Amino acid sequence: MGASLFPSAAIVGVFLFAINFLCIIPELAIAKQEPITRHYKFDIRLQNVTRLCHTKSIVTVNGKFPGPAIIAREGDRVVVEVVNHVKNNVSIHWHGVRQIQSGWADGPAYITQCPIQTGQTYVYNFTIVGQRGTLFWHAHISWLRATLYGPIIILPKHNVSYPFPKPFREIPMLFGEWWNNDTEAVITQALQTGAGPNVSDAFTINGLQGPLYNCSAKDTFKLKVKPGKTYLLRLINADMNDDLFFSIANHALTIVEADAVYVKPFKTNILLIAPGQTTNVLLKTKHHHPNVTFLMAARPYFTGRGAFDNSTTAGILEYERPSNSSSTKSKSLPLSKPTLPAINDTTFAANFSNKFHSLANAEFPARVPQTVQKHFFFTVGLGSSPCPKNQTCQGPNGTKFAATINNISFTLPTTALLQAYFFGKSNGVYTTDFPSSPLFPFNYTSNNPLNNTVVSNGTKLIVLPFNTSVEVVLQDTSILGAESHPLHLHGYNFFVVGQGFGNFDPNRDPANFNLVDPVERNTIGVPSGGWVAIRFHADNPGVWFMHCHFEVHLSWGLKMAWIVLDGKLPNQKLPPPPSDFPKC
pLDDT 10s digits, 479-491: 999 999 999 999 9
What was the pLDDT predicted at 34? 87
What is the arrangement of strands in the sheet containing 523-526, beginning at the earlier edge strand? Answer: 461-464, 559-564, 542-548, 485-489, 523-526
Q: Are 584 and 114 in contact (CB under 8 A)?
A: yes
Question: Hey, is 89 helix, strand or coil?
Answer: coil
d(CA 279, CA 257): 6
Query: Residues 6 or more apart from 432 whose CB is under 8 A from it?
Result: 426, 460, 461, 462, 463, 563
d(CA 74, CA 146): 28
What was the pLDDT predicted at 324? 64
Q: Are residue 130 and residue 246 in the same domain, yes or no?
A: no
Q: Predicted confidence band at 378 (pLDDT cuts at 50, 70, 90)?
A: very high
Please report, for residues 48, 253, 540, the alpha-carbon distance to residue 54 in angstroms, rounded to integers and kept in the order given: 10, 35, 45
Residue 349 domain-assigned (yes or no): yes
CATH code where residue 97 lies:
2.60.40.420
d(CA 249, CA 522): 29
Mean per-residue pLDDT over the chain, rounded: 93
- Report CA Rg, the chain: 23
Per-residue b/e over 138-148, b at no fewer than 16 CB within 10 Å? bbbbbbbbbbb
Q: Predicted confidence band at 306 (pLDDT cuts at 50, 70, 90)?
A: confident
What was the pLDDT predicted at 304? 87
Q: Are 361 and 516 in contact (CB under 8 A)?
A: no
Q: Predicted confidence band at 8 (pLDDT cuts at 50, 70, 90)?
A: very low
Q: Are residue 171 and residue 81 in the same domain, yes or no?
A: no
Q: Are 40 and 206 in contact (CB under 8 A)?
A: no
Instruction: To the nearest 10°, report the CA torsion of 233, 238, 239, 240.
Output: 170
Q: What is the pTM of this model?
A: 0.94
Q: Are residue 275 and residue 153 in the same domain, yes or no?
A: no
Closest CA to 525 of 139, 245, 199: 245
d(CA 104, CA 311): 39
Closest CA to 312 of 324, 302, 322, 326: 302
Q: Are residue 67 and residue 79 in the same domain, yes or no?
A: yes
Top pLDDT among 329 and 371 is at 371
Q: Does the pLDDT of residue 1 top 50, yes or no?
A: no
Question: Of the residues 124, 147, 162, which one is the last residue of a structural domain?
Answer: 162
Top pLDDT among 322 and 29 is at 322
Q: Are residue 413 and residue 525 in the same domain, yes or no?
A: yes
Q: Are residue 424 and residue 551 in the same domain, yes or no?
A: yes
d(CA 122, CA 272): 35
Q: Are 90 and 115 in contact (CB under 8 A)?
A: yes
Q: Are residue 120 and residue 193 in the same domain, yes or no?
A: no
Q: Are residue 509 and residue 530 in the same domain, yes or no?
A: yes
Q: Are residue 254 and residue 395 in the same domain, yes or no?
A: no
Q: Are residue 317 and residue 387 in the same domain, yes or no?
A: no
Residue type, 331: K
Q: Are residue 310 and residue 341 in the same domain, yes or no?
A: yes
Question: Hey, is 538 helix, strand or coil?
Answer: strand
DSSP per position, 245-265: EEEETT--EEEEEETTEEEEE
Question: Hey, is 563 helix, strand or coil?
Answer: strand
pLDDT 10s digits, 408-460: 999 999 999 999 999 999 999 999 999 999 999 999 999 887 778 999 999 99
Cis peptide before 577 (omega within 30 of 0): no
What was the pLDDT predicted at 451? 74
Question: Of the residues 162, 179, 198, which one is the last residue of a structural domain?
Answer: 162
Q: Comparing 265-274, 297-306, 457-466, which segment has the lowest mean pLDDT?
A: 297-306
What was the pLDDT predicted at 325? 60
Residue 12 domain-assigned (yes or no): no
Q: Are residue 417 and residue 510 in the same domain, yes or no?
A: yes
pLDDT 10s digits, 12-42: 344 444 444 444 444 444 445 789 999 999 9
What was the pLDDT predicted at 31? 47
d(CA 493, CA 50): 38
Domain count, the chain: 3
Domain that holds residue 116: 32-162
Q: Does the pLDDT of residue 161 top 50, yes or no?
A: yes
Question: Of the residues 162, 191, 207, which one is the last residue of a structural domain?
Answer: 162
DSSP per position, 355-392: T-BB--SSSS-----SS-SEEEEEEEEEEEEPPPTT--
DSSP per position, 452-519: --BPEEE-BEEEE-TTEEEEEEEEE--TT----EEEEETT--EEEEEEEESS--TTTGGGG---SSB-
